């Protein structure tokens, strides 16, 4: 085995984030070919899956009168209220059928607690409840991560910032990501990632 394996973290390439899905990201399905190619090139391969119970606190439908894409304040801070998406057990929560899920070593699910959202693959949106991914990567001897997937300005960004804070060397392959871009959130995310030492490539 390579002494210091590099890990590829593939964020949320699920039907609901692809064209036709409940929270479709423009061009979300265009990244399947590059992501599948990258999956061949890494020693450690992790997929994440956004995985919400019906009635999740991040859904606008759980907040009477709230419009999708509005922002509210929850006990752990600001939260965008989303259309219902990635509900456990639904087709929208499944990985895109063209994603080579067989290549993955680990699938990490996040956002399964009704009261707290989880954009990051490492911590829920309270920034303290861990998903367990850090322990997995450390025990496999990983110190360098490449992140790809959906969406650049939400789950990819939060994962990249947490990973940098945890001490990993982090690269985001922008050619294998697509963004939601709510009110300039893509440029803000790129700026925050660069400031945290994340390398933006592609
Ligand atoms: C995501 C919004 C809500 C993402 C997940 O994967 O970027 N965005 N849940
Ligand atoms: Zn979600």
* pLDDT tens per residue, range 51-67: 999 999 999 999 999 99
Computed over every residue of the chain, the mean pLDDT equals: 97
Q: What is the pTM of this model?
A: 0.97
* CA separation for the pair 108, 47 (Å, rounded): 6
pLDDT in tens, 17-75: 999 999 999 999 999 999 999 999 999 999 999 999 999 999 999 999 999 999 999 99
* Helix 185-195 / helix 157-165 crossing angle, nearest 10 deg: 10
The answer to whether 168 touches 120, Cβ cutoff 8 Å, is no
Atom of ligand 1 nearest to the CA of 86: 9
Query: Distance between CA atoms of 102 and 74, rounded to whole angstroms?
Result: 37
Q: How confident is the model at residue 2 (pLDDT cuts 50, 70, 90)?
A: low
Instruction: Evaluate: CB of 50 within 6 angstroms of ligand 1.
Output: yes
Is 155 catalytic? The answer is yes
- d(CA 119, ligand 1 centre) in Å: 6
């Amino acid at each position: 085995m390579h002494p210091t394996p590099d890990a590829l973290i593939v964020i949320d390439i699920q039907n609901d984030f692809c064209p036709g899905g409940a929270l479709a990201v423009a061009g979300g399905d265009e990244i399947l070919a590059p992501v599948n190619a990258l999956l061949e090139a890494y020693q450690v391969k992790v997929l994440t899956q956004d995985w919400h119970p019906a009635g999740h606190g991040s859904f606008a439908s759980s907040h009477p009168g709230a419009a999708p894409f509005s922002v509210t304040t929850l006990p752990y801070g600001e939260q965008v209220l989303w259309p219902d998406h990635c509900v456990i057990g639904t087709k929208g929560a499944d990985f895109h059928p063209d994603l080579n899920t067989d290549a993955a070593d680990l699938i990490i699910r996040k956002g399964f607690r009704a009261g707290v959202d989880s954009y990051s693959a490492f911590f829920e949106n309270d920034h303290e409840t861990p998903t367990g991914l850090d322990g997995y990567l450390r025990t496999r001897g990983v110190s360098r991560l490449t992140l790809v997937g959906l969406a650049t300005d939400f789950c990819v960004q939060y994962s990249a910032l947490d990973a940098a804070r945890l001490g990993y060397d982090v690269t985001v392959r922008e050619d294998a990501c697509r963004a939601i871009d709510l009110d300039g959130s893509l440029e803000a995310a790129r700026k925050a990632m660069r400031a945290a030492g994340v390398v933006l490539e592609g």
